[in-house]
């Protein structure tokens, strides 16, 4: 038995914040605005995992009204999300992620991002796909005002 989930997240880029994608601190002139570290890549993965088992979204489980999550690493949110899906007796078997950003280019960070996700979710790196694309200058993402991510996951019964 398997399940599939889809996740999406977007955050505005602002000065004065550090940029984290997939748990990797990426040198850039701006960072993502959010209550936690605002890692859109990991937030999309969390939402995909939660959705696959019929749970509510990341905002429900880790609300911005709870100071516990202020500035928290999204790798920790991913770890807590894994505990939730394990209660449903499922484990991630495959993840595919798309990051939408005009800048920065993330190609040289992909292997570390995969390693981070695989380590937390206890899965093989070769079962994680990560791609990046621009928004061709269109909209908030295209104007360099935001970064978004989409993730699709498949889960298998433990």
Q: Map 28-72 to HEC letters.
A: CCCEECCCCCCCHHHHHHHHHHHHHCCCCCHHHHCCCCCHHHCCC
Is the pLDDT score of 143 beyond 80?
yes
The number of domains in the chain is 1
Q: Domain holding 44: CATH number? A: 3.30.1330.50
Reported as a single tens digit per residue, the pLDDT across 69-82 is: 999 999 999 999 99
- Domain that residue 73 falls in: 2-157
Residue-wise pLDDT tens digits, 3-48: 999 999 999 999 999 999 999 999 999 999 999 999 999 999 999 9
What is the pLDDT, as a whole number, of residue 158?
Answer: 77
Predicted pLDDT at 151: 98
């Amino acid at each position: 038995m398997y399940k599939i989930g889809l996740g999406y997240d977007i955050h505005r880029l602002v000065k004065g914040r550090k940029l984290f994608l997939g748990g990797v601190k990426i040198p850039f002139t701006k960072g993502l605005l959010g209550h936690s570290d605002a890692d859109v890549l990991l937030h999309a993965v969390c939402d995909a995992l939660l959705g696959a088992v019929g749970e509510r979204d990341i905002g429900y489980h880790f609300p911005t009204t709870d100071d516990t999550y202020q500035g928290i690493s999204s790798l920790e949110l991913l770890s807590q999300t894994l505990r939730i899906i394990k209660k449903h007796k499922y484990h991630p078997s495959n993840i595919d992620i798309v990051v939408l950003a005009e800048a920065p280019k993330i190609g040289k960070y992909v292997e570390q991002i995969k390693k981070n996700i695989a380590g937390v979710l206890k899965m093989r790196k070769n079962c994680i796909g990560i791609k990046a694309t621009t928004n061709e200058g269109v909209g908030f993402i295209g104007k360099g005002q935001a970064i978004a991510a989409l993730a699709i996951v498949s889960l298998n019964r433990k």
